[in-house]
């Protein structure tokens, strides 16, 4: 809840282990045409042979973006449904797996590798190219921070996000808000140190409902080990915080005096 950085973080990531098919990737290639000056390059026609798995009957959403937790849903594919993967990117982290495949069949859009029977966890398929036409994340840095925070609700560990060590979120609140803004480390020793830095820069506000993406600070007290606490505002009276698992809470949940809120550090350009 309180620290930014540390060593010897306890625990290891609990992750699902789906059965993995061991077999050849079936790649369809275009016809090679001989011409007087050489041989034409084959065209990539997608990878097949894999299917949706492990959704528990809920189905896998085909999304319009691999980055935004609120991205639109194009279709829902049931367990066992095969797909054609065209390329992949590193997108939103789903329980330690950040690989997303752009598929062209049976629908066109993005699916998380986590809910498939592909052969490697958090890995591209053999011979699968990197998507080169993927638009960057859209929206403000606050929009992207909150999209990420909502995507990790219920998770207990960092799962190596942004290359950070695989430590628990509990006790690392300033690290958590740093991750929301694309920082593997916030740069502060604790939440209260972060608060004092922003206060000295004239950035702390004490009135009004903190807007979406704002950092919401609490005093150093025995309940937080005298490190202070910080969490993210959703802008509607709800807040997202690190704890035993990432969760949505009320303004009074931290149990320490409320100090005020601030927009994230100007140097934090976002995810």
| pLDDT tens by residue, 221-248 | 999 999 999 999 999 999 999 999 999 9
Q: What percent of the chain has pLDDT over 90?
A: 65
CA end-to-end distance (rounded Å), the chain: 22
Q: How many alpha carbons fall within 13 Å on the CB side of residue 37? A: 2
SS3 category, 161: helix
The pLDDT tens digits of the residues spanning 165-217 come to 999 999 999 999 999 999 999 999 999 999 999 999 999 999 999 999 999 99
User: Per residue in 105-114, pLDDT tens?
Assistant: 999 889 999 9
* Residue spans per domain, the chain: 1-136, 141-262
Give the count of beta carbons closer than 10 Å to the beta carbon of residue 173.
31
Q: Is 58 exposed, middle or buried (0-12, 13-18, 19+ CB in 10 A)?
A: exposed
pTM of the model: 0.56
130-172 per-position pLDDT tens digit: 887 545 556 789 999 998 999 899 999 998 888 889 999 999 9
Q: Which CATH superfamily groups domain 141-262?
A: endopeptidase domain like (from Nostoc punctiforme) (3.90.1720.10)
């Amino acid at each position: 809840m309180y620290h930014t950085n540390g060593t010897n973080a306890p625990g290891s990531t609990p992750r699902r282990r789906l059965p993995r098919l061991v077999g050849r990737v079936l790649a369809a290639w275009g016809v090679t045409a001989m011409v007087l000056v050489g041989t034409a390059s084959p065209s990539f026609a997608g990878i097949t042979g894999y299917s949706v798995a492990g959704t528990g009957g809920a189905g896998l959403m085909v999304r319009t973006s691999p980055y935004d937790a609120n991205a639109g849903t194009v279709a829902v594919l049931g367990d066992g449904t095969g797909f054609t993967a065209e390329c992949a990117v590193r997108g939103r982290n789903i329980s330690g797996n950040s690989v997303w495949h752009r598929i062209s069949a049976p629908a066109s859009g993005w699916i998380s590798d986590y809910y498939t029977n592909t052969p490697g966890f958090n890995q591209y398929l053999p011979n699968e190219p990197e998507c080169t036409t993927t638009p960057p994340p859209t929206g403000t840095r606050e929009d992207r921070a909150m999209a990420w925070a909502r995507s990790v609700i219920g998770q207990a560990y960092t799962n190596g996000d942004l290359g950070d060590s695989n430590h628990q979120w509990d006790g690392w609140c300033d690290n958590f808000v740093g991750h929301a803004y694309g920082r593997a480390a916030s740069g502060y020793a604790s939440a209260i140190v972060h608060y004092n830095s922003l206060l000295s820069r004239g950035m702390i506000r004490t009135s009004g409902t903190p807007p979406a993406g704002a950092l919401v600070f609490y005093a150093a007290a025995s309940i937080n080990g005298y490190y202070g606490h910080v969490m993210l505002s959703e802008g509607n009276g709800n807040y997202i915080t690190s704890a035993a698992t990432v969760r949505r809470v009320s303004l009074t949940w931290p149990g320490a005096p409320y100090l005020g809120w601030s927009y994230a550090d100007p140097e934090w350009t976002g995810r």
